[in-house]
Amino acid sequence: MEDLQGELRALTAGIRTHLEARARAGLLGVSRAPCPRMNRAGDEPANALATPAAEVQPLTDPADLETAFASDSEPPLPHAGHGLTLVRAELGDCQRCKLAKGRKHIVFGTGNPEAHLMFVGEGPGADEDAQGEPFVGAAGQLLTKMIQAMHLAREDVYICNVIKCRPPGNRDPEPDEVAACEPFLKKQIAVVQPRVIVALGKFAAHLLTGEHTPITRLRGNLKHYQGIPVMPTYHPAFLLRDESRKGEAWHDLKEVMALLKHMGV
Ligand code: URA
């Protein structure tokens, strides 16, 4: 019995050390559930794979982790969603650029915080600003169909934008606005740790690849952001305006599917 208790104490200490090291490294993405991170056609429905929300309590401050580990009680296991909660908390009621004045909602991001696949768009439009969720308008409906064509659901992937607030009249984001939001996109990527990113349109593609060639030439060419493969492709809003480009976009998405399959995810 004493042996067993000793083993349990050693196991608990080992887990605590591991989680503390991850927390110090800013890796807050540990799930309690042994869930595969992506659903494919023919697998269980996406909801069956998701960690029930009730199982985890959001942390609001990195110090919460220290407090949690300071006690002798069983350490709670944080979820990747907590990492995103911390990034969202840091963004707060953002006033870092002039877009704050006209916005209704900050549009942070949506989907699986542990997704293998991340889509990064440009910035919220009127529908997204009204609802506080990315890609819910006409372009969003097309994006949802594109995701479904990849045998995935919106809930399987993570979706966000370069800028989190709607520019007036849906104009292009300006450099100071992109610069103000960039650290938050970077943190979202760092927390989610996607295996592949799809950059939708020139703003996401230019920011994530560091290349400023036209999207017509950039698309379909696999690039990297901090070691993560990035596939630049057309923005769904552009595809709504020019349907003849849909074949190229589908080609790019099939490349992404092949890459994920090659990675075994
Ligand atoms: N276009 C984008 O780039 N993002 C959205 O969220 C909606 C439309």
Element (H, E) at 127: helix 126-131
The pLDDT of residue 78: 60
Q: Pull the structure tokens for residue 133.
A: 């969720």
Q: How far is the CA of 225 from the centre of ligand 1 (A)?
A: 21
- What is the separation of C-alpha 84 from the centre of its chain, rounded to a whole number of angstroms? 9
Distance CA 55, CA 202 (A): 39
The pLDDT of residue 116: 98
Distance CA 244, CA 158 (A): 27
Neighbours of 242 (CB within 10 A): 9
Q: For residues 75-94, b (16+ Cβ closer than 10 Å) or e, as one string?
A: bbebbbbbbbbbbbeebeeb
Neighbours of 20 (CB within 10 A): 15
Q: How far is the CA of 9 from the centre of ligand 1 (A)?
A: 49
The pLDDT of residue 61: 45
The pLDDT of residue 79: 75
> Under CATH, which architecture does the 80-262 domain have?
3-Layer(aba) Sandwich (3.40)
With a 6 Å cutoff on the Cβ, whether 121 touches ligand 1 is yes
The pLDDT of residue 17: 34
The pLDDT of residue 38: 37
Judge whether 88 and 60 are in contact, CB under 8 Å. Answer: no
Q: Encode 197-213 in three state secondary structure.
A: EEEECHHHHHHHHCCCC
With a 6 Å cutoff on the Cβ, whether 237 touches ligand 1 is yes
| Confidence (pTM) | 0.74
What are the domain boundaries of the chain?
2-71, 80-262
The pLDDT of residue 226: 98
Per-run averaged pLDDT (10 residues), the chain, 265 residues? 42 38 40 36 28 34 38 54 97 98 98 98 98 98 98 98 97 98 98 98 98 98 98 98 98 98 97
